[in-house]
């Protein structure tokens, strides 16, 4: 392989990293690749190492948002250095088309809004994500889904998927299944930390002393004592 | 997340380092005798361990260690960024090596090779 070609492959591999990574390490990474190849290292292995690093970096930086660039990095790089695509096939995520639904799941509660928005945007869904103050157990979970008017021929069913709450309580919603060809509009409300003195969303089963109810037919009433059986760490 | 302290905090640091992977241990070991940049790290690690770290693995581990507060980036020298081990990194490395040593001792005894 000519020195020009392996330098080019390294450049392309480095370009697969996020911009902030390139700003910080890009020049040094290219120089390092040159030095390693000069020392007898394989240009293909050097480029492959960068591609795997780029894929990891894209996934770590913003897991759901970066999945496509990460996979693209691996596929582009593998093509460039001659790795058969079939070798990468097992790492490809399940195709939404096979189930007819797209599942927008929250795996990182501190980035719940970002994760949901990323999935909705990538499928061109008109679904907005808004944050609402909530009790500690519901922070980073889906509080409610409000579907708007349907366009002609649209599919109305947005299915909520339950998962564990912060602290181990049950009954929270941490994912939503959207029909692949959903054309309606909707708003998804996600719990966020409460500011001092702020009223917030709480369900009857997880009320803590001092929590103010905003839903459940008892608005703006404050709970005086924990519901029986409530574990102290939930508060 | 920066890690500091010792005592039972050391256990937390050791766990963090264990999760951070083998490359992180190799990098901390290499930095234990002074600051180095990427290329110098790869050469040094190859020399003392026989392992050649891929550059992608190296940068991933450096970023991870820096975010954990176990190493610190020093001012760049042209295109190269040297790193130095922090006191939290030294504690984490020491705890990790102690743990490895205990495992090594038990393993050698059980294999009939005697203690180290």
A155-169 pLDDT, tens digit each: 457 777 777 777 666
Cβ contact B39–A57 (<8 Å): no
Q: Indicate whether A110 and A40 sit together in one domain.
A: no
Q: Indicate whether A61 and A146 sit together in one domain.
A: no
In a domain, A72, yes or no: yes
Give the mutation candidate from A13, A53, A60, A74 for the B interface (greatest B CB count, under 10 A): A53
- Report which of A158, A205, A154 is spatially closest to residue A177, judged by C-alpha positions: A158
Q: Indicate whether A108 and A183 sit together in one domain.
A: yes
Mean pLDDT of chain A: 70
Tokens of A32: 């390092």
Give CATH for domain B22-105.
Answer: 1.10.10.10
Shortest CB distance from A53 goes to which of B38, B39, B57? B57
- Give the domain range for residue A26: 3-91
Q: Indicate whether A116 and A80 sit together in one domain.
A: no
Q: Indicate whether A120 and A68 sit together in one domain.
A: no
Task: Provide the shortest C-alpha distance from residue B76 to chain A (in Å).
Answer: 10
Structural domain boundaries in chain B: 22-105
With CA atoms as reference, the chain A residue closest to B78 would be A28
Cβ contact A32–B57 (<8 Å): no
Total domains in the fold of chain A: 2
DSSP B84: E
In a domain, A234, yes or no: no
How far apart are alpha carbons A1 and B92 in whole angstroms?
A: 42
ipTM, 2 dp: 0.74
Task: Provide the shortest C-alpha distance from residue B40 to chain A (in Å).
Answer: 10
A52-110 pLDDT, tens digit each: 898 888 776 655 555 555 566 665 665 555 543 333 333 333 334 445 677 788 877 88
In a domain, A108, yes or no: yes
Q: Indicate whether A9 and A73 sit together in one domain.
A: yes
Q: Indicate whether A112 and A187 sit together in one domain.
A: yes
How far apart are alpha carbons B16 and A8 in whole angstroms?
A: 37
Q: Indicate whether A109 and A41 sit together in one domain.
A: no
A113 burial level (CB within 10 Å; 0-12, 13-18, 19+): middle
Chain B residues near residue A35 by CB distance under 8 angstroms: 39
In a domain, A25, yes or no: yes
Cβ contact B37–A28 (<8 Å): yes
B82-107 pLDDT, tens digit each: 999 999 999 999 988 998 889 889 99
In a domain, A125, yes or no: yes
Shortest CB distance from A27 goes to which of B37, B60, B79? B79
Which residue, of A47, A70, A91, is where some domain finishes?
A91
Q: Indicate whether A54 and A83 sit together in one domain.
A: yes
Residue B28: pLDDT above 90? yes
Mean pLDDT value of segment A40-57:
88
Task: Give the per-residue pLDDT at A7.
Answer: 75
């Amino acid at each position: 392989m000519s020195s020009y070609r392996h330098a080019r492959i390294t450049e392309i591999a480095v370009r697969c990293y996020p911009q902030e990574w390139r700003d910080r390490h890009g020049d040094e990474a290219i120089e390092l690749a040159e030095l390693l190849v000069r020392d007898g290292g394989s240009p293909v292995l050097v480029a492959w190492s960068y591609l795997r690093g780029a894929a990891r970096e894209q996934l770590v930086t913003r897991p759901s948002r970066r999945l496509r660039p990460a996979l693209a990095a691996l596929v582009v790089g593998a093509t460039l250095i001659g790795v058969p695509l079939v070798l990468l096939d097992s790492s490809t995520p399940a195709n939404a088309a096979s189930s007819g639904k797209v599942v927008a799941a929250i795996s990182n509660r501190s980035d719940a809004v970002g994760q949901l928005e990323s999935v909705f945007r990538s499928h061109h869904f008109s679904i907005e994500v808004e944050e609402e103050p909530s009790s500690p157990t519901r922070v980073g979970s889906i509080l409610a889904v409000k579907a708007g008017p349907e366009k002609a021929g649209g599919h109305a069913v947005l299915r909520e998927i339950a998962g564990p709450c912060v602290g181990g309580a049950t009954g929270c919603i941490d994912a939503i299944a959207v029909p692949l060809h959903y054309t309606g509009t909707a708003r998804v409300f996600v719990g966020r930390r409460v500011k001092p003195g702020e009223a917030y969303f709480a369900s009857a089963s997880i009320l803590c002393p001092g929590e103010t109810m905003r839903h459940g037919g008892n608005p703006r009433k404050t709970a005086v004592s924990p519901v029986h059986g409530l574990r102290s760490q939930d508060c | 997340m920066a890690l500091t302290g010792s005592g039972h905090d050391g256990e937390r640091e050791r766990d963090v380092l264990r999760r951070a992977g083998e490359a992180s241990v190799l990098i901390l070991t290499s930095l234990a005798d002074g600051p180095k940049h990427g290329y110098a790290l790869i050469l040094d690690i190859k020399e003392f361990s026989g392992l050649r770290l891929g550059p992608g693995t190296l940068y991933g581990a450096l970023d991870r260690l820096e975010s954990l507060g176990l190493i610190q980036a020093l001012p760049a020298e042209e295109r190269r960024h040297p790193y130095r081990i922090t006191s939290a990194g030294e504690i984490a490395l020491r705890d990790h090596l102690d743990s490895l040593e205990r495992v090594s001792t038990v393993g050698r005894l059980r294999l009939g090779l005697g203690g180290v």
